[in-house]
Structure 1
Amino acid sequence: MGIVFKQSFSNLVITYLGFAIGAINTLFLYARFLTDTYFGLVGVILATSAILMPLLAFGVPNTMIKFFSSYSDKKTQDGFLTMMLLLPLALIVPFGVFSYLANDAIAAFIGHRNEIAENYVWHIFLIALAMAYFEVFYSWSRVHMRSVFGNFMKEIFARLAVMILLFAVYFDYMSVETFLQALVGVYLLRTIIMKLYAYRLRMPGFGVSFPSNTRDILTYSILIILGGSTAVILLEVDKFMINQFIEIEKVAYYSVAVFIATVIAVPSRAMHQITYPMTAALLNARDKSGLAVLYQKSSLTLFITSGLIFVLIILNLNDLYLLLPESYRGGFYVVLLIGLAKLFDALLGNNNAILYNSDYYKAILFMGVLLAVGTILLNLYLIPKIGITGAALATFIAIFFYNLIKLLYVKAKLGLQPFTAETFKVVFLLLIVSAVFFALQFPFHPVLNIVLKSLLITIMYVGILYRFRISDDIFGVLSKYLNPKK
């Protein structure tokens, strides 16, 4: 796990830098440079594209990681990689034809509640296509244990480009309509750059035969579409459905609150870049003891880091909202509910990687489909009743039960569980820190208040972690800085 921690560090820095740029975009630039309506429209376009992405990718990103390490000879690997490049076209082509033939009907559906969304069907399709093939080429680099550049392109490139485009709108160098067209261009360019990098690592050997287990690959890919779609539906369908029931401006307010909560998931996103292929390799090698160690240590490390972020966000949220335009300040319960869901995700460590790369993936995929349907039904009921808080509550309920099922399923089938005595020590530590700092308020400017409170919380939290050596991996890292002579 120490190796995982070190390899994850570069991705962690990149991911946090990306989220910092995203925070500037989401919390300040979008909210001030675009109207609430157009900010909401961007949210709808990107959320709908994200929902389509797993379908258009045909499950290839997960399939590539699961099967690539099982092939030892170059010819078979080349045949497999060629197959991975072609598979997404099986759905991209028919989806493109359908979008062309049924453009008016799709536009009417998307713009049912907010007519402004009607004119962006092709924006959605092209961004979804770009997202799908980006993930294919990103997985191409990850199976060769090169994840840093891809993570940079995923977390920083698009956000930095969007920042430049937003300033161009603000200084009247481009219209909002041109900005939306340029947004499509950013995602397409990102995919092209990722493709060139992936081919630099290894050029595909076109014209070779497909692997002998092609049927197993196709079955897995088809089923993994369900799993990928389920995960995205749990995270993105709420924004799409808010657009269907209430004013599109609410998508903007909801997006800000969700972005704040999503910062909790940054450590998970960084660590999973390396733990996902490692988990696949351990499963292919049938190394159950190594898998158990990875499961528990990834859970503890992520719970410690994400738990600290959760506490920092919740205890500083009132001051943070004072920095935003007044219309964006009503999302406390959205942040709390989505934040708790993300914290539960972190607690499960590499649970998803275990399930999607094991022989038991079929059952959990179908369970996920049922929960995705449940999410949609919950949104249908709760959004009209309590607005964006209803969307957050629907997401929290769905993710809670989905994660609980996955946790119990891995325990039942593989005899593995992520919790140790240290897990409960971290729970107790989080409760103590929250209780100590809950009522503490400084009378200064919100930025200074956030800095002071965050510094005090972090010192107490990290100090207790170090003093009681709750995690060996984190203790080792802290020792390099707190006690460098040892």
Structure 2
Amino acid sequence: MSYQKFARDVGFIGAVQALTSLGAFFLLPIITKTLGTYDYGLWAQINITVSLISPLALMGLSMGFVRFLSSETEKKIIREAVYSILFFVTLSGLLASFLLYTFAEPLATFGFKDPEATYFIQAGSFLILLNVIESVSLFYFRVFRQIKKFSYLTLFETFGKLFFILILIKMGYGLLGVIVATLMVQSFIFLISLVDIISQIGFAIPRFTYIKEYLQFSLPLTPNALIRWVTESSDRYLVTYFLGLGSVGVYSAACSIGNLIQLFVSPLQLILLPELSKLFDENKIDQVRIYMSHSLRYFLLITIPAVFGLSALAKPLLGLLTTQDFLSGWMVIPIIALSGLLAGIFQIFVNIIFLVKKTKSTTYINIVAAASNVLLNLLLIPSIGIIGAALSTLISYFLMIVLCIRVSMKHFVFDFYFYDIAKSIFSSLAMYLFVSRFTISNIYELFGVAGMGALIYIFVMFIIGGFSKYELSIVKKFTPPRL
């Protein structure tokens, strides 16, 4: 797999992720303007609870799937591995869903501070099973580089949810309609994926031949899921405790916009780890360094202006996508966007730790970040509210990347392109000053100003030499010839 093909695949998934985010972009106003801050806060809490339990049920096996099967070509081994992992996580997912269903009432009373939420938690408990089995089935296409299939299924899931949630909300089912629509679409995606997998590798009753080896790699990663959840999502529970579900709704809506930054690392990470694993197993260490340095550079050249852009447009974005009740959370968006940039850097560097199979290091890093996050939340939320929750997340991610870079650099050293990053920051600042001058009152003006801001960034980068000759040659290649 050449770097050009790698770049094309990343670009393709990036375009798909952009469309996916557009779907989420339209879904946010549908839910917030229909449910209001309280019910939206309840939906956010159910999602956060499911996102805590699902990785525990998955037991890190999705990462074991990627690490061990990326360079595998023997169909018999692939078939045994796929069905062993799928069967294993189905049982664990069923158990986790059952436990959440059983303990829904005490969770609603003490965690959500609303006993009437029990019914919705029980309905949402089935999302855990679907999350884990769908995750493994989709990882198959990622591992074996069937990028288009993976992307089309992801798109179908996003817009399928958008379509069915809209229908059920219009029919008056409210929050229950959101949960049911999500369950329906995820079930359908899993069935499509499973049929395709069977058509490619056949079907066999698993004998769990390699499951012990996979679990030895994956189980040390399982605590990371819980610890990462503490860093990324536990603030919602603390906001609920100190400020109530309404404030969680405001905070979650702002976070959903700030987290758009994550879409820039998702396409890269989907392809990067399988490709790095293959190169590392073939002892092509210089190639690994090239992939790492280029991935970091391009991620930052795109993400830095995105953070500045979201910061400039934060208030009009939240105002247009939600209601006035949510507008108080606009200051959260720039902080969460910057946190997303730091999380992306962490996701790139942590690949080195996965390659050398020092997965316990990630556990220690995540423990430090999680502990600092909880302590900072306890200090800051009572005093400065949801802004304190956002700042706690930012500081925790900063600690994570400092520790991760220190550990990973013991194994690999590669070019950071500091000079290019400085040029990107300068160009992004020019774009920010331009965009922040506009008063935006509708969605068309929002897209127009965002487009002009992107052009300003590209123009300034071009003037100060922020793009390499190779990158400029690619642009020239796709520029129409003069008449």
Report how many residues are paired: 478
The equivalent residue for 1:143 is 143
CA distance in 2: counterparts of 1:469 and 1:334, whole angstroms: 30
Query: How far does residue 301 in structure 1 lie from its aligned partner after superposition?
Result: 0.8
2:377 is aligned, of 376, 379, 383, to: 379
Q: Is the contact between residue 257 and residue 334 of structure 1 (CA under 8 Å) also seen in structure 2?
A: yes
The equivalent residue for 1:69 is 70
Query: How far does residue 10 in structure 1 lie from its aligned partner after superposition?
Result: 2.2
The equivalent residue for 2:205 is 206
Flag the 1:275–1:456 CA change in 2: closer, same or farther, 3 A.
Answer: same
SS of structure 2 residue aligned to 1:297: helix
1:345 to 2:343 alignment:
yes
Query: How far does residue 94 in structure 1 lie from its aligned partner after superposition?
Result: 4.1
1:25 is aligned, of 18, 27, 44, to: 27
1:50-71 alpha-carbon deviations (Å, 9 max, x no partner): 1111111111111000001354
The equivalent residue for 1:59 is 60
CA distance in 2: counterparts of 1:8 and 1:42, whole angstroms: 32
SS of structure 2 residue aligned to 1:412: coil
CA distance in 2: counterparts of 1:16 and 1:459, whole angstroms: 18
SS of structure 2 residue aligned to 1:482: coil
Query: How far does residue 234 in structure 1 lie from its aligned partner after superposition?
Result: 2.8
The equivalent residue for 2:296 is 299
Q: Is the contact between residue 299 and residue 349 of structure 1 (CA under 8 Å) also seen in structure 2?
A: no
Kindly report which structure 2 residues correspond to 1:296-375, keeping only aligned pairs within 5 A, or say none: 296-323=293-320, 324-347=322-345, 350-375=348-373
One-letter identity of the residue aligned with 2:30: L
The equivalent residue for 2:126 is 126
Q: Is the contact between residue 75 and residue 201 of structure 2 (CA under 8 Å) also seen in structure 1?
A: no
Tell me the C-alpha RMSD between the 2 structures: 2.7
One-letter identity of the residue aligned with 1:409: V
2:453 is aligned, of 454, 457, 465, to: 457
CA distance in 1: counterparts of 2:122 and 2:18, whole angstroms: 31
One-letter identity of the residue aligned with 1:242: V
1:389 to 2:390 alignment:
no
Query: How far does residue 96 in structure 1 lie from its aligned partner after superposition?
Result: 4.4
Kindly report which structure 2 residues correspond to 1:171-320, keeping only aligned pairs within 5 A, or say none: 171-172=171-172, 174-207=173-206, 210-211=209-210, 214-320=211-317
Flag the 1:418–1:365 CA change in 2: closer, same or farther, 3 A.
Answer: farther
Q: Is the contact between residue 57 and residue 88 of structure 1 (CA under 8 Å) also seen in structure 2?
A: yes
Query: How far does residue 294 in structure 1 lie from its aligned partner after superposition?
Result: 0.8
Q: Which runs of 5+ in 2 are unaligned?
A: none
1:321-350 alpha-carbon deviations (Å, 9 max, x no partner): 442421111223211111111122344572
Q: Is the contact between residue 349 and residue 418 of structure 1 (CA under 8 Å) also seen in structure 2?
A: no
Flag the 1:441–1:162 CA change in 2: closer, same or farther, 3 A.
Answer: closer
**Does 160-169 or 271-280 show the bigger shift?**
160-169
The equivalent residue for 2:410 is 412
Query: How far does residue 359 in structure 1 lie from its aligned partner after superposition?
Result: 2.3
1:425 is aligned, of 423, 426, 440, to: 423
The equivalent residue for 1:13 is 15
Identity among equivalent pairs (%): 16
1:202-245 alpha-carbon deviations (Å, 9 max, x no partner): 3344355613xx54421111012123344444333323433343
Q: Is the contact between residue 14 and residue 151 of structure 1 (CA under 8 Å) also seen in structure 2?
A: yes
Flag the 1:348–1:97 CA change in 2: closer, same or farther, 3 A.
Answer: closer
Kindly report which structure 2 residues correspond to 1:41-60, keeping only aligned pairs within 5 A, or say none: 41-60=42-61
Q: Is the contact between residue 51 and residue 237 of structure 1 (CA under 8 Å) also seen in structure 2?
A: no
Q: Which runs of 5+ in 1 are unaligned?
A: none
CA distance in 2: counterparts of 1:200 and 1:383, whole angstroms: 52
Query: How far does residue 473 in structure 1 lie from its aligned partner after superposition?
Result: 6.4
The equivalent residue for 1:36 is 37
1:80-106 alpha-carbon deviations (Å, 9 max, x no partner): 223222332463354345445545434
Flag the 1:280–1:228 CA change in 2: closer, same or farther, 3 A.
Answer: farther
Query: How far does residue 451 in structure 1 lie from its aligned partner after superposition?
Result: 3.8
**Does 126-135 or 353-362 show the bigger shift?**
353-362
Query: How far does residue 257 in structure 1 lie from its aligned partner after superposition?
Result: 0.9
The equivalent residue for 2:168 is 168
Query: How far does residue 474 in structure 1 lie from its aligned partner after superposition?
Result: 4.5
Q: Is the contact between residue 265 and residue 342 of structure 1 (CA under 8 Å) also seen in structure 2?
A: yes
Flag the 1:474–1:259 CA change in 2: closer, same or farther, 3 A.
Answer: farther
**Does 255-264 or 450-459 show the bigger shift?**
450-459
Query: How far does residue 471 in structure 1 lie from its aligned partner after superposition?
Result: 4.4
**Does 463-472 or 125-134 show the bigger shift?**
463-472
SS of structure 1 residue aligned to 2:146: coil
One-letter identity of the residue aligned with 2:46: I
Query: How far does residue 408 in structure 1 lie from its aligned partner after superposition?
Result: 1.6
